Chain A
Amino acid sequence: MSNKTLFLQGNAVCVEAALYAGLDFFAGYPITPSTEIAELLSLKLPRKGGKFIQMEDEIASMCAIIGASLTGLKSMTATSGPGFSLKQEAIGYAVMTEIPCVIVNVQRGGPSTGLPTSPSQGDVMQARWGTHGDHSIITLTASNHQDVFAMTVEAFNLAETYRTPVILLFDEVIGHMREKLQMPDPEDIPLVERLWTSVKEGTDFHPYLPREDGRLPMSDFGGIHRYNVTGLIHDMWGFPSNKPDVAHGLMHHLVDKIENRVHEITRYKEFFLDDAECILISYGSAARSALHVVESRRARGEALGLLELQTLWPFPAEVVRKRCAHAKYLLVVELNMGQILQEVKKAVMDPEKVFLSNKIDGTFITPTDIRNVLRLIQGKGV
C-alpha cells in the first residue's frame, strides 16, 4: 500500500480501480447515480491514450464495449437500473460469445424510473437472470471504498480469467458517499491479462476450443487470425450450428466454467463468526449498518457475527452453509424484499431459522432498523 490517501466518492474509486486494472475503453450513457464514472473517465482515459465514448443509448454503450474488447482492450460501461434493463440482451451476447467486459450497476430504487437518487439493492436477481436463457454470470459487490477498489480490480481479473461479463453491483450510498481510500501501489494487486493464443499464423485457429484448464485463449480482431463470432449456438470455429451435441456442449461449457469454480470466484469477509449464535448476512452498503450492530453488540458480550458477501453470483452457498451451520438464527440484511434471503434459505439446512431485516423505501437501513428486528427474533418484543 502506498502512503497516498485519497478522499473520494465511491464512483471515483471505481474509476481509479478500473484504470489500475488496465481499463482502455469505456462507453456509457448518462444516468443517476452512476454518471460520475463516465464524467471522470472522459478525461482520465484519453490522458493514458485510452478511449471514451458517450453513446446514443444504454444498449449501444453495452454493444460498443463488447466490440472494443474483441480487439483486445479491457472495456467497461456503467449504468443504473433502467439502463441495466436495456443492456441485458447485449450482456447475454457477451456471455454467449465469451467476450470479457465489466458492467457497473450503481443501483437505485426501482422498478421503472423508481427512486433515481435513493439507494437500493433491488437488482440482485436481475444481475443473475436479467438476460434470457440459461446462463451463468459473475457479480461482485462491496461495502466500503477500499473494497470497491479491490472488487473492481477483481472484476477485470475474473472477466479475463473466465472470458465473461462481470457485473459490479454497487448502490447509491456506495457510489456517492465519500470516504478514505488508501491507494494501492502498482503491483500491490496482481492483474490478470488477456490470454492470447499461441497458434501461429496460417494454422487453423479454434476461437471456441477451451484449453484443458477451461480457459479460452483469444486472438484480437484485427490480428493474425480471422474467425467468426456469433450469438448463435456455435462450434469451436465460431460457426453457427444447430446440432444437439454442439448445443448441449456449449451450454454446459458456458455454465460449468463458472458454476464449477464457485470456490475460486467466491470473495467474502467474516467478522466474529466462530462462536456466533446469531449471524447477520449482508453485502454492499447494508453491510455497513450490519457491521456496526455486530461490533457494538460484541462489545457488550453478545455472540453476534457478520458474514459479508462480496461475490453474489455464483452464489457462495457452501460458504453460507458451512460458516453458518452452528448459528441459532441468521438475519439477512439487504435493501430489497429478500432477494439474497431466498438464496440463503436454499443454502442452509434449516431455512426456518433465516430472517430478514430490510428497507425498501429509498432510505438507508440503520443499525436501529436491524436492532428492532433482532429484538423480535430474540423474543424481546418490540
Chain B
Amino acid sequence: MAIRDYIRERFMPHIWCPGCGHGIVMNNLIRAVENLELRKRDIVMVSGIGCSARISGYLDFHTLHTLHGRALAFATGVKMARPELRILVPMGDGDATAIGGNHFIHAARRNIDLTAVIMNNRIYGMTGGQYSPLSGRGKAATTAPLGNIDQAFDIADLAMSAGASFVARTTTYHAVSMIKILEKAIMHKGFSVVEILTQCPTYFGRKNRLGSAVDMMKAYKTGTTPVGSEAKKEDPELIERGIFVEEDRPEYCTEYENIIKKAMGVH
C-alpha cells in the first residue's frame, strides 16, 4: 500500500509546527506497519493528550484518542478484551512519564503486549513549553525561567527496571534504523518501549537555543552512539541508542488465557 493509504486525508492539515519530529515518527510507524504487512483492521492505536498524541487521529486504524496520561490504561482494556489485536500507543514524554507514569510502570510490570512509542522532546509542547520529567536539570522552560532544578528520568532504564521485555531508543535522525526497531517492537510479544528522541524546535529548541530543527537532528547524530559502543566509554555524556532488552517473558494476556482455562476446569 502507498503511505497515503494509511492516512486520513480528512484530518489534514495536521497541527504540527514546521520541523517538528512527530511527522518523522508517524511516517516511520506507517513504514513499519507496511513492511510487516499487517492489516489496518487488526491495529488499534491508543493515544493520550499532547502534540504526539494527535498521531492516532491521522492514521486509518481503529483509533482511540483518550485522556492525558491514560493511554496505556485504555489500551490495557482493549488488549485484554481482544488479545489478537495489535495495539500501538504513541505518547509524549510528559504523557508517559509524568501524569501517566503509574500506568507506564505497571504496564511494563505486567508485560502486557502493547507497543509504547514515546516521543521524547523533553517539553510540554501543546501547552506552550513547560518543563517535563525529561527536560533535565539546568534546562529552560516557561515554568523554569530561572533554570530547571528537576532531575530527569532515563526512560529506557525506567522501562527495564519496571519489567518491560523489549526496550529500545532511537532518534528522528536515525530514521532507517527507527523503522527496524519499530518493526521489532510491534512484533515482540510483551510490553515493548521505544523511546524516540524527537525535536520540538518551537519550544525546547527555542528556549534552550538549540537552533533549527535540522540543528537539533544533527545533535542527535553527534550526541548518541550505538548501545555498547567504545565511544560511550570514552565519552559518558553520549546517549546510547539501539535495543537494550529483547527477552521472551510470560505475557499478560497469554497468562490470563490460562486463568480462564483453570477457572473453567480445563487443564
A residues with CB within 8 A of B: 24-25, 27, 43, 46-47, 49, 51, 53, 55-57, 59-61, 63-73, 75, 89-90, 93, 221-224, 226-232, 237, 239-240
Contact with A along B197-217 (1 / 0, CB 8 A): 000000000000000000000
Pair B264/A47 contact, Cβ less than 8 Å: yes
Asked whether any CB of chain A lies closer than 8 Å to the CB of B78, the reply is yes
Known contacts A56-B106, A222-B84; can you find 20 more A-B pairs with CB under 8 A?
A43-B263, A46-B260, A47-B264, A55-B73, A55-B76, A56-B102, A63-B67, A63-B70, A63-B74, A68-B81, A69-B77, A75-B77, A221-B85, A224-B41, A227-B63, A228-B63, A229-B64, A231-B65, A239-B8, A239-B57
Interface of A is mostly: mixed
Smallest CB gap from A50: residue in B: B260
CA distance in complex: A93, B48 (Å): 12
Contact B256 A51 (CB under 8 A): yes
Which chain B residues border A90 with CB–CB below 8 Å? 67, 70
Contact (Cβ within 8 A) B42 A222: yes
Kindly report which residue of chain B lies nearest to residue A44, judged by CB atoms.
B263
List the B residue with the shortest CB-CB distance to A235: B10
In Å, the complex CA distance between A19 and B85 comes to 25
Chain A hits for B102, CB < 8 A: 56-57, 60
Contact (A60, B82) CB under 8 Å given A221-B62, A227-B62, A229-B64: no
Q: Does B44 make an interface contact (CB < 8 A)?
A: yes
Query: B256 — which chain A residues lie within 8 A by C-beta?
Result: 46, 51, 53
Whether, in the assembled complex, B156 has its beta carbon less than 8 Å from a beta carbon of chain A, the answer is: no
Q: Mark B76-91, 1 if CB is under 8 A from A, else 0.
A: 1111111011000000
When C-beta atoms are compared, the residue in chain B nearest to A101 turns out to be B77
Taking a contact as CB atoms closer than 8 A, the residue among B42, B65, B70, B259 that contacts A59 in the complex is: B70
Q: What secondary structure prevails in chain B residues at the interface with A?
A: helix
B103 within 8 A of A: yes
Residues of chain B within 8 A (CB-CB) of A68 are: 77-78, 80-81
Q: Is the CB of B10 within 8 A of A237?
A: yes
Contact B76–A46 (Cβ < 8 Å): no
Q: In whole angstroms, what is the CA distance A64 to B87 when docked?
A: 14
Which size bracket describes the interface of B in this complex? 35 or more
* CB atoms of A239 and B10 under 8 A apart: yes
Closest to B11 in A: A239
Given contacts A71-B81, A89-B67, is CB(A64)–CB(B73) below 8 Å?
yes
- Give the residues in chain A near B76, CB-CB below 8 Å: 27, 53, 55, 60, 63-64, 67
B103/A226 in contact, CB under 8 A: no
**1/0 contact trace for B45-85 toward A, CB 8 Å?**
01000000000110011111111001001111111111011
A284 and B226 CA atoms in complex are apart in Å by 64
Q: Can you name the residue of chain A whose Cβ is closest to the Cβ of B61?
A: A226
Say yes or no: B80 contacts A53, CB within 8 Å.
yes
Q: Which of B41, B46, B74, B77 contacts A25 (CB 8 A)?
A: B77
Residue of A nearest to B107 (CB): A56
Q: CB-CB < 8 A to A66: which residues of B?
A: 74, 77
By a CB distance below 8 angstroms, the chain A residues around B139 are none
Judge if B40 is at the interface, Cβ distance under 8 Å.
yes
Chain A: minimal CB distance from B46 (Å): 7
B positions within 8 Å CB-CB of A: 8, 10-11, 40-42, 44, 46, 56-57, 60-67, 70, 73-82, 84-85, 102-103, 106, 256, 259-260, 262-264
Alpha-carbon distance between A239 and B64 when the two chains are bound, in angstroms: 11
Q: How far is the CA of A24 from the CA of B65 in the complex (A)?
A: 23
Q: Which of A25, A56, A73, A223 has the most C-beta atoms of chain B within 10 angstroms of its own C-beta?
A: A56
Q: How far is the CB of B193 from chain A (nearest CB, A)?
A: 17
B260 contacts A67, C-beta separation under 8 Å:
no
Given the complex, which residues of A lie within 8 Å of B67, measured CB to CB? Answer: 63, 89-90, 93, 231
A63 to B263, Cβ gap below 8 A? no
Smallest beta-carbon distance B29→chain A, Å = 16
Question: CB-nearest residue of chain A relative to B84?
Answer: A222
Contact assessment for B63 and A63 in the assembled complex, using a CB-CB cutoff below 8 Å: no
Residue contact A230 to B57, C-beta cutoff 8 Å: yes
Docked complex Cα distance between A148 and B81 (Å): 27
Give bound CA distance, A27 to B79, whole Å: 13
Q: List 24 A-B contacts (CB under 8 A).
A: A25-B81, A46-B256, A46-B260, A46-B264, A55-B73, A56-B103, A60-B73, A60-B76, A63-B74, A63-B76, A64-B80, A67-B73, A67-B81, A70-B77, A71-B82, A90-B67, A221-B85, A222-B41, A222-B44, A222-B62, A226-B61, A229-B64, A229-B65, A231-B65
Which residue in chain B gives the minimum CB-CB distance to A73? B81
A67:B264 contact, CB within 8 angstroms? no
Interface centre among B10, B61, B63 (most CB of A within 10 A): B63
Q: Which A residues lie within 8 Å of B74 (CB)?
A: 63-64, 66-67
Report the minimum CB–CB distance from B60 to chain A (whole Å): 6
Q: Contacts of B262 on A, CB cut-off 8 Å? A: 46
Q: Which of B63, B79, B259 contacts A226 (CB 8 A)?
A: B63
CB distance from A144 to the nearest CB of B (A): 31
Report the bound CA distance from A72 to B44 in whole Å: 14
> Complex formed: what's the CA distance from A232 to B66 in Å?
9
Query: Chain B contacts of A226 at CB under 8 A?
Result: 40-41, 60-63
Most buried by B among A57, A230, A232, A237: A230
Nearest Cβ in chain A — how far from B159, in angstroms?
15
Residues of B within 8 Å of A63, CB to CB, are 66-67, 70, 73-74, 76-77
- Contact residues in A for B79 (Cβ distance below 8 Å): 67
Whole-angstrom distance between the alpha carbons of A370 and B112 in the complex? Answer: 53
Give, as a whole number of angstroms, the nearest-CB distance from B55 to chain A.
12
Which of A24, A47, A53, A221 is within 8 Å of B64, CB to CB? A221
Least Cβ distance of A138 to chain B in Å? 21
Which residues of A have CB within 8 Å of B77? 25, 27, 63-70, 75
Residue among B67, B78, B81, B263 with the highest chain A CB neighbour number at 10 A = B81
